[in-house]
Amino acid sequence: MTDTTTSPGADGGDALVTAFNAVGADYLFCSSGSEWAPVWESLARRHRDGLPCPEYLDLTHETVAVGMATGYGLIKRRPQGVLLHAAPGLLQGSMAVHGALLAGVPMVVSSSESTTYGDGPGQDPGGQWYRNLSIVGGPHGVAQPFTKWSTEAASVHTLPTMVTRAAELSWRAPAGPAYLNIPLEILLEDWDGREAKPLVAPGSTHSSPEEVDPVAQLIREAKNPVVVTETAGREAGGFEALVAFAEAWNIPVVEPDSAVCGNFPRTHPLHAGSDIGPWMDEADLILLVNCRAPFYPPSRRPAKATIVVIDEVPQRPHVVYQVLFADRYLEGNVANTLRQLTKRAKELDEAAVAVRRSAQEERHTAEQQAIAKAEEKAASQAQGIDPVLVAATLRKLLDGQDAIVVDETITHSRVVKRHVQTADPDSYFYVQGGLGQGIAVALGVKLAAQDRPVVLTIGDGAFTYNPVIPSYDASKAYELPVLIVVFNNRVYKSMNLNHRRFYPEGAAAETGEWLGTDLHRLPRLASFAEPFGLHTETVDTPAALTPALERALKSVAEGTTAVVDVLVTR
């Protein structure tokens, strides 16, 4: 045993707070549960005595707690602490925890259970654990499928180092949430005061020159190469490294609809849109840069391309079925790998480069003309608001504002990406893992980037999935103003589209009875924000759109969240 001095009243709550402090957690995102009294007491003591500790956020829904930790982690890229309540709280927050896994966000999620049910020495944990809150195998068994690592803390004396291990595991590639079940008895047990070791940042891994040089030669020899990326921009420095690489080699970059974040400036002449289809038969080299599953269906193999996968962890364990058709792997830090390849952009075939540069210029010009034409058409509509007009108006109003767009639309997601046209690192994120997290993720992004405007684009169906009241409460309580723009077409459009696709001549098409889709019955969505004193607007005419968004952005700049419910035509 290590000889240490025990602080008066030190228990497992102190051990946990000390551990999160040591690993550098800025925040504890907590959806309250009765097991956390020892943590609250430790925090109260530290606040009283002026001792350091993470800032505690008292949140009223599990999805809000985990979603805010996700949004914060997207920007800061360091593990934070999330405290949920027992197995029910873990289950309630599980979709958001799974979303953090898919988004690659590190965090340490904890909840609790009892191990003695009142039959052991020490304080009685309470009968609710025996009757209602315990779960067979413990909550760490429940958490295992949707976390990177999941276990139970077995002793108050090992708890701090267990938190350190969980945080370090969550931060290493592939980053994601780790879960720690901390029995209530451990939180109440006397602690010997030993300090947790500070968290050590991940070291970087690199592909060797012997691996990079042949890939550089493949690129040098390629006539029609293309980059496809989903999450290059999620890595620190990845966005900038990809831009430098593409420019050095003059290679177009495709961001498929499955992109998790902004990876490349959508305004850049080398941005080649969202459709890999045109390249499947024509490309002779496809560079998959941080791509989970680029081909759909998976058997859809490119006709003649050599495929190089550039990814720190190309085989993602949480992907059930993954087909990359790789001919070569460059494994290691993606930004570093791209920089190494950029340095090797020498002795190029200028004639081949000129041909593909000219072809990409034509594609880019055609795309810009198509965007402009779509926006002209949307602006000329006399009746109703086209979603293209909403996205284009946002782009104009956000120009030069260093804004961040968080997107939780479904049928409008292509419109948002195509017409908002984000162009900077950490300026666009798509919510992962299931609808209902968008407001919380946007609030977490705002918490991490308080000097930048944050805009959430969301469909009316997704909006109704969100824990709206707890989210507004968090926005108001912690002064996190965001702009929420609802693309409200009064229908679950994606459900309706699938019904029509699967049964184009079915009974529903014959009778008009489309079940599971109608949202006309919902009240004014903006009105839910009124009790919180937030700025609200409902817009149903094109002429009213720009003034409403301007007023909303002014409200956000002055510190108040704004909700603009836009009634769109489709």
User: What are the pLDDT digits (tens) for 406-457?
Assistant: 999 999 999 999 999 999 999 999 999 999 999 999 999 999 999 999 999 9
The Cα 268–Cα 135 span in angstroms is 52
Residue whose pair of structure tokens reads 């998790």 in the numeric block: 260
pLDDT in the model for residue 8: 53
pLDDT in the model for residue 316: 87
Residue range 36-63: mean pLDDT, rounded = 97
Least confident stretch, 3-7, 332-336, 422-426: 3-7
Q: Which residues pair with 343 in a beta bridge?
A: none
Q: What is the pLDDT of residues 275-288, one digit of tens each?
A: 999 999 999 999 99
pLDDT in the model for residue 199: 86
Indicate the burial class of 379 (C-beta count within 10 angstroms; 0-12, 13-18, 19 or more): middle
C-alpha distances out from residue 451 to 395, 398, 459, 544, 557, Å: 19, 14, 26, 28, 10
Amino acid at site 379: A
> Is residue 2's pLDDT more than 50?
no
Helix (H) or strand (E) holding 429: strand 428-430
> Is residue 297's pLDDT more than 50?
yes
Q: How confident is the model at residue 400 (pLDDT cuts 50, 70, 90)?
A: very high
Q: What is the pLDDT of residues 443-495, one digit of tens each?
A: 999 999 999 999 999 999 999 999 999 999 999 999 999 999 999 998 888 88
Least confident stretch, 194-198, 259-263, 335-339, 347-351: 194-198
The Cα 334–Cα 341 span in angstroms is 11
- The alpha carbon of 316 is separated from its chain's Cα centroid by a whole number of angstroms, namely 16
The phi-psi region of residue 274 (left if phi > 0; otherwise alpha if psi is between -120 and 50; otherwise beta) is alpha
pLDDT in the model for residue 1: 30
281 C-beta neighbours (distance < 10 Å), count: 10
Residue range 219-241: mean pLDDT, rounded = 97
Token pair belonging to 104: 């690659």
pLDDT in the model for residue 491: 87
Q: Are 142 and 86 in contact (CB under 8 A)?
A: no
Write down the mean pLDDT value for the chain.
Answer: 94
Extended beta strands in 205-267, E state: 225-229, 253-254
> Is residue 7's pLDDT more than 90?
no
Q: Using alpha carbons only, what angle is made at residue 515 by residues 513 and 516, rounded to the nearest 5 degrees?
A: 160
The Cα 30–Cα 82 span in angstroms is 6
Token pair belonging to 334: 């993606």
> Is residue 6's pLDDT more than 50?
no
Give Cβ neighbours of residue 250 (< 8 Å, ≥ 6 apart).
270, 348, 353, 356, 357, 360
Q: Are 561 and 534 in contact (CB under 8 A)?
A: yes
Helix (H, G, I), strand (E, B) or coil at 328: strand
Q: What is the pLDDT of residues 479-492, one digit of tens each?
A: 999 999 999 998 88
